[in-house]
Amino acid sequence: MSIQSKYICSECGKEFEITPKLMVCPICSQKQKDNKPLRGILEVKYSADDLFDIEELIPLEHSWIPDLPVGFTPLWKAEYLDDGHSQLYLKDDTGNLTGSFKDRASILVAAFAKKHGIKEIVLASTGNAGSSMAGIAAACGLKATIFLPKTAPRAKMVQALQYGANVISVDGNYDMAFDLSLEYSQKHKLLSRNTAYNPLTIEGKKSVAIELYKQIGDAPDYVFVPVGDGVILSGVYKGFKDLLQFGFIKKMPIVVAVQAEGSPAIHDALKSGQFTKCSADTVADSIAVDVPRCGFYALKQLQKFNGQSVLVSDEEILMAQKELSEKAGLFAEPAASASYAGYKKMKKAIDKDASVVLLITGTGLKDIDSATKKIVFPKTSIKSIKEI
Ligand SMILES: *Cc1c(COP(=O)(O)O)cnc(C)c1O
């Protein structure tokens, strides 16, 4: 094969062979401090002499990728959505196999496990990553063990159990689940899919950038991304960086990190240059994080490529969720609706002719409790239409 892939440390630049045992840079990870984003995140680096199709840029042979309905999601314009930009696109990831963007990472991790004869994958999750890995593992004949905080949204836990995953409920927060899952995967020599920690999570999520390039014919001018741990954001950047490296595009898009006011770690770090631990509290559970695991890496990309960030309130998120449903027929979960909320806040500052993409990262059916805050149920039930 003419394409070579290696891991390269995003901090010290040291290169490593890609193996299932290696997750973070053995040198830089020694500097890891409690309550800080992960140190020593590894990036996949490619070299190729004859590249015909950008989709060849994956760190294993294509034949390992299971044939599942993941990615290749629709990009569409919603005619009745309040926009102001004729080129406003929704990148609709609600239709992935398990209903969220997380499937893009899970499918690559599952392929990697199959290639290396690994039978079980372990991860900590606040909900979507767990239910995603559970579903993809089920479809690939693999076992998934998921550490979920006991406060995880019920539908996401039900989904993981329905797929037959081994769900371990943790009496603590996501950070505790993260640590326990690592301890477990190391003790039993199992593959971890913890987000940001496993380099293939960033690499898997980059597929969205490749698709956008194919669907638009170029990089869009703006991409709005809902941000929690910052792995989707990092994946978006990684994909466009690969496209740039191999000459498919000439310039990077402006990526806008949208965060909830109650979970602003990466936005704050972009303003202040450092990470301070917060106690996340927002209706958008999928972007609620105290410590963004991919924080250092995500911040570096935002700084390097003139990225921007914006905060949105829970009220703005819920309004955006309702509007997406009512005017585009797209029922997205609160975290996914944050993209649209962020766009609405920033649209005046964006050139009228710009192409703008909103990443819609998960379906609203996974969290109906949040959606019920903006709807009114019928007060009575009728037996005859005369009662209406
Ligand atoms: C995980 C998730 C996000 C945020 O992704 P990060 O990589 O944690 O920043 C956004 N929306 C949905 C629906 C998610 O599940």
Tokens coding 140: 């690939």
Question: Amino acid identity, residue 72?
Answer: F
DSSP 3-state assignment of 234? helix
The token duo for 357 is 């993409």
Q: Quick count: other Cβ atoms within 10 Å of Cβ 372?
A: 10
pLDDT given for residue 193 in this prediction: 96
The model's pLDDT over 299-330, given as tens digits with 9 standing for 90+, comes to 999 999 999 999 999 999 999 999 999 999 99
Mention the CATH class of domain 103-200. Answer: alpha beta
How many Å apart are CA 160 and CA 22, to the nearest integer? 27
pLDDT at position 332 is: 98
Q: How high is the pLDDT of residue 39? A: 97
Q: What confidence tens digit (pLDDT) does each residue in 193-218 have? A: 999 999 999 999 999 999 999 999 99
* Rounded-to-integer distance, Cα 274 and Cα 269, Å: 5
Separation CA 66–CA 136 (nearest Å):
9
Predicted pLDDT of residue 153: 82
Find where tokens 């000459």 sit: 247
CA distance 206 to 342: 21
Check residue 387 and give its pLDDT: 86
**Residue 240 pLDDT:** 98
Query: How many A from CA of 360 to the centre of ligand 1?
Result: 10
How far apart are the C-alpha atoms of 205 and 201, rounded to whole Å? 6
**pTM for the predicted model, two decimal places:** 0.96
**Pocket-forming residues, ligand 1, beta carbon under 6 Å:** 100-102, 128, 195, 226-233, 286-287, 333, 335-336, 361-362
What interhelical angle do 231-245 and 295-304 show, nearest 10? 50
C-alpha distances (whole Å) from 209 to each of 188, 216, 221 are: 35, 11, 12
What residues does 257 pair with on adjacent strands? 225, 309
Q: What is the pLDDT of residue 152?
A: 83
Tell me the CA–centroid distance for residue 286 and ligand 1, in Å: 5
CATH class of 75-100+202-374: alpha beta
Determine contact, residues 364/325, Cβ cutoff 8 Å.
Answer: yes
Write down the pLDDT at residue 137. 98
Between CA 72 and CA 93 the distance in angstroms is 9
d(CA 179, CA 133): 18
Pocket probe for ligand 1: among 93, 287, 340, the residue whose CB has the most ligand atoms within 8 Å is: 287
CATH 3.40.50.1100 residue window(s) in the chain:
75-100+202-374, 103-200
d(CA 11, CA 28): 7
Q: Ligand 1, residue 235: give the atom nearest the CA.
A: 7
DSSP 13-68: --EE---TT--B-TTGGGG--TTSPPSSBEEEEEEESS---GGG-SSS-GGGS---
Portion of the chain with pLDDT greater than 70, in percent? 100
Average pLDDT, consecutive stretches of 10 residues, N- to C-terminus, the chain (388 residues)? 89 97 97 95 92 87 96 94 88 97 98 96 94 97 95 89 96 89 94 96 98 97 98 98 95 98 98 91 92 97 98 98 97 97 96 96 92 89 89
